[in-house]
Structure 1
């Protein structure tokens, strides 16, 4: 009935979709297994993509040739560039999306990807032979064989939903939990754990009074995620709103604390630290008399509203009573209550940097199964797992991204070397080279790598080469072009910048904190005419490189210094337990994670500089 596949992807969430698309685009025969074809790429939680550091990840996925950026653009209802008031390393694109259109666009994209087949059924076990995965078995006993398997099970592995004192099995509201895989993997020697996440209630937008809320508009000149010409920017946007909880809301919520699964011990898994439930917020921050609530539409035409900031697992009657005490929500009608969900995950220290498991060859994990939270974190892992599963079946070298290459590289390096005991979320602060890893230059950094893999098209590559060429031309010309006091002083006065008294290069002027190339674009002279021949992206790229030149050079020097340690390879057979001089914790962590290089070893929590010196001596011998 089935051919033998190169790659079987289990789960069709954000990780599974990226994995299936990447492997198939690279020439592998792919089977995407999902329990429900109607929930492919379901936005289980908030209808949004991107945000701080997450927006950088979406741009990196797009630059490599993944689809999350394109799908986000096609389903976007509002765009905002966050942190514009800060430096460019902090700028983070975020979109509000049409939930139904997002899922539809992903399904259509996968159906139009050659080499992708679909099978709707629960996968209950893996077929493993001689510590190598060779296929999967489904709930009705069908065996399907493949050279590699990528598990992207999300919150479905033994998922347990909590609403107050009620609990029932499920991977998502209205959908069954997946059983069998965890138990088999534990039997094979894997370590498993439990995590928790949650979602807020959904309400009827027709029942809200928006006049009592603050309006949150999208950007006046919205951008998009994808660097490709396949998508366009929005010409109209939907509005979001902001309101707040109050002491009356908090008092109503506290009435249900004795029935809260989070406080009475029924939930064992740790939840996301940076996205706590509303009951957790008012418990941890008792001194605050209000918390922000974002009122977000679920799409262009639907009346369903996502109550961002009100994630909860309290009883539904408590949720309803408290909701109606929020300003603007006095007559709110609830579509469904919020809930918490517990699920199995596998500590990611059991993986290689390719996301292949150390215990079972050709088996890859991606997404929440690795302890992460968020669509973007899941999608980028799916992309990397799909790429490497495909490369391995083709007997090619693996694809690895370093911490200095991408936020994706930071995320995977963190997971493999440090592990996580709570849902891992990406932040700009996690990246030591964040000035190099900006959202605006992801195409320059990663499209050549994606093109080499066969993911990014020739058209994409040519576009990047043209952008690079034009930016360099502009940079060189700005070093030579000089302006006289007569040409520039009036413009400098307008932005409260000191006047000049002799000719000065444009490059030096741009280094001033409140001067940008837009200052010159508004002038009526040859320079503004010249600048108008370049694209907005090229002008922005040149300006950033000029303003932050010294900082960029310092970061690049740090990258080169760290890369030297990556050249010190550690043999896979290296026996840390035999080295008596190593610390006890160092022996334990190094033996468990089995780093491939001295650089990777240096990033393992608990491995000291003294441990590294000792390993270096032994490697030298």
Structure 2
């Protein structure tokens, strides 16, 4: 075996897989070191990808040339577009997946990339010289040298699981923890901490009384994650089911709170606010008599179900006693109980926008090591770390996405600017430019960037150009086509819209909120004839792209104007220009936060919690001098 590589990726989770794929695709000899090659991109928690804001991230990863979207489509057993009752800026794709197929597809994907190599082992040490990372040492005692190292260790660094008073070392149930890296980096000056997450029990479907549950079916239609053509839900589609806790369930939980590690002081780590354990729910929302639970299939053919909404670290007996009181689960049998897990992370303000660390050159962090939670957030960091490690070797400019360009840009800027005081999860509310960052236009925003650096393929770029050609041609056609009442009044009345009293251009009719472009194709012969030349497998996608652009043109242009104004501050570089501790005209908190983060630009400085507008004005005045 050759123990010299250009890039080493440590960890085969969602971040590690995207990082390794990006490095290999960009032409660099990459070694992916993981403890279990049979669990590539393992879905440790729920068997689903996407959701509010997370679905937008997956489409962005795909648009750049990443793989999570395609793997999700190939392993999907249920697809839904969430928030369809709201505007398109809020639409978020989500897919239930067969987690076994998902992992297998990821391994197939990585093995198809010639430059990606594998080694099954655990990394216990980093080789450091003169403030740079030079390689790693594995548990087997093997030294592997590399120009760049990407750490994507998930929940494995000093991982400790809790089920009541029972504790078990490990990064995931039945899998060992990783030791040595935290200690090495702490000695090198890194700030580290502990975080906590949890997962619920898994249920045997043969023992569930489905007649007591509400069925939630998936959607049909053209929607999927990847912009590339190909498989679209080829697996058998399966339903999810809804049930609820009740006051009896809550009484059982309350009676045993003293045995919960999160309530008796055993766990001191930072836990997720937006995905709380069931014991946290019943305490925090004591006025609620019930909480919704989802039973989600783990695969196409398995009887294993994931009990979404009932994460817990309570003793096993207490979990099962409480669940017996839930409708449909009275006689349920379980594969394993829920558990909480504590693990090490590093303060992400110690990172550059490229995800390279500030303290050590050539070392990158991606995923839960940065204090995030979620497969999608991890994969987004992985692809950015992988891209930047490769570009640095090529001596090219770093690849950094701005907040108005991608949710991925919002995610990374939040991490490196604000840090984390709980596991970070992406929401649409975190983005200032939601109308610009829609799930439908991620290809338009990011595929040219991915193509320019060599990650997105020519096929992907050409598909984008084809879509834009037909979309823009359609919009121009509708600007010119005049419509009279006799052609369309019947349809307008049927959807509750005002009939025409004179002829108008078709584009003005599309602007009406009740009107759907897809409906008009069947109503208006000239429009139908124009759309007949569209590629059959992309017709709905093109129609939707045109309709969104027409209906939301004013909002889109307004957000672009706002973003352009703020970009002026993004272009004012300040790193290395100030000794913040000497600037006594800035508030004490402002000086401390600016010195800690060492922002790249004035715009980044303005987003630091504790830095006031008057502090920013002082910096601008000093720059003027």
Q: How does 1:146-161 map to 2 (within 5 A)?
A: 146-161=146-161
Range moving further from structure 2, 173-182 or 230-239: 230-239
Task: Determine if contact 2:75/2:233 at 8 Å carries over to the other structure.
Answer: no
Matched, 1:600 2:604: yes
Partner of 1:500: 500
Partner of 1:112: 112
Task: Determine if contact 2:76/2:235 at 8 Å carries over to the other structure.
Answer: no
What's the offset of the Cα at 1:145?
Answer: 0.4
What's the offset of the Cα at 1:279?
Answer: 0.8
Range moving further from structure 2, 437-446 or 321-330: 321-330
Matched, 1:587 2:591: yes
What's the offset of the Cα at 1:276?
Answer: 0.4
Range moving further from structure 2, 152-161 or 229-238: 229-238
Structure 2 CA distance for aligned equivalents of residues 580 and 64 of structure 1: 44
Matched, 1:561 2:590: no
Partner of 1:96: 96
Deviations 1:256-289 (A, max 9, x none): 2111101001011121111001111111111111
Range moving further from structure 2, 525-534 or 496-505: 525-534
Specify whether residues 558 and 412 from structure 1 end up closer, same or farther in structure 2 by C-alpha distance, changes over 3 A only. same
Deviations 1:538-591 (A, max 9, x none): 111111111111111110000100111111111425322222211111111111
Specify whether residues 400 and 355 from structure 1 end up closer, same or farther in structure 2 by C-alpha distance, changes over 3 A only. same
Partner of 1:268: 268
Structure 1 CA distance for aligned equivalents of residues 394 and 134 of structure 2: 15
Matched, 1:530 2:530: yes
What's the offset of the Cα at 1:232?
Answer: 2.6
Structure 1 CA distance for aligned equivalents of residues 31 and 624 of structure 2: 46
What's the offset of the Cα at 1:236?
Answer: 4.7
Please, which of 541, 546, 569 is the counterpart of residue 542 of structure 1?
A: 546
Q: How does 1:88-487 map to 2 (within 5 A)?
A: 88-221=88-221, 223-234=223-234, 236-487=236-487
What's the offset of the Cα at 1:2?
Answer: 2.6
Structure 1 CA distance for aligned equivalents of residues 530 and 352 of structure 2: 50
Task: Determine if contact 2:200/2:312 at 8 Å carries over to the other structure.
Answer: yes
Structure 1 CA distance for aligned equivalents of residues 328 and 532 of structure 2: 46
Structure 1 CA distance for aligned equivalents of residues 238 and 532 of structure 2: 31
Structure 2 CA distance for aligned equivalents of residues 576 and 516 of structure 1: 56
Secondary structure, counterpart of 1:106 in structure 2: helix
The normalised TM-score by structure 1 is 0.98
What's the offset of the Cα at 1:472?
Answer: 1.1
Partner of 1:27: 27
What's the offset of the Cα at 1:434?
Answer: 0.6
What's the offset of the Cα at 1:234?
Answer: 4.6
Range moving further from structure 2, 589-598 or 126-135: 589-598
Task: Determine if contact 1:569/1:596 at 8 Å carries over to the other structure.
Answer: yes
Structure 2 CA distance for aligned equivalents of residues 603 and 152 of structure 1: 26
What's the offset of the Cα at 1:537?
Answer: 1.3
Structure 1 CA distance for aligned equivalents of residues 98 and 232 of structure 2: 16
Range moving further from structure 2, 504-513 or 312-321: 504-513
Structure 2 CA distance for aligned equivalents of residues 231 and 67 of structure 1: 14
Structure 1 CA distance for aligned equivalents of residues 524 and 513 of structure 2: 23
Secondary structure, counterpart of 1:135 in structure 2: strand
What's the offset of the Cα at 1:231?
Answer: 2.8
Long gaps (5+) in structure 1: none
Long gaps (5+) in structure 2: none
Secondary structure, counterpart of 2:600 in structure 1: coil
Structure 2 CA distance for aligned equivalents of residues 254 and 354 of structure 1: 46
Structure 2 CA distance for aligned equivalents of residues 210 and 275 of structure 1: 25
Please, which of 572, 577, 582 is the counterpart of residue 576 of structure 2?
A: 572
Range moving further from structure 2, 213-222 or 364-373: 213-222
Deviations 1:462-495 (A, max 9, x none): 1101111111111111111111011111110101
Structure 1 CA distance for aligned equivalents of residues 324 and 543 of structure 2: 49
What's the offset of the Cα at 1:531?
Answer: 3.2
What's the offset of the Cα at 1:218?
Answer: 0.2
What's the offset of the Cα at 1:235?
Answer: 7.5
Partner of 1:54: 54
Structure 2 CA distance for aligned equivalents of residues 71 and 509 of structure 1: 39
Task: Determine if contact 2:75/2:235 at 8 Å carries over to the other structure.
Answer: no
Specify whether residues 532 and 279 from structure 1 end up closer, same or farther in structure 2 by C-alpha distance, changes over 3 A only. farther
| Aligned-CA RMSD value | 1.1
Task: Determine if contact 1:154/1:368 at 8 Å carries over to the other structure.
Answer: yes
Task: Determine if contact 2:164/2:314 at 8 Å carries over to the other structure.
Answer: yes
Deviations 1:305-354 (A, max 9, x none): 10001110000001111112111111100100000000111110010000
Deviations 1:96-134 (A, max 9, x none): 000100001001111111111111111011101000000
Structure 1 CA distance for aligned equivalents of residues 527 and 222 of structure 2: 26
Aligned pair count?
621
Structure 1 CA distance for aligned equivalents of residues 621 and 90 of structure 2: 40
Partner of 1:518: 518
Partner of 1:6: 6
Structure 2 CA distance for aligned equivalents of residues 488 and 232 of structure 1: 35
Partner of 1:552: 556
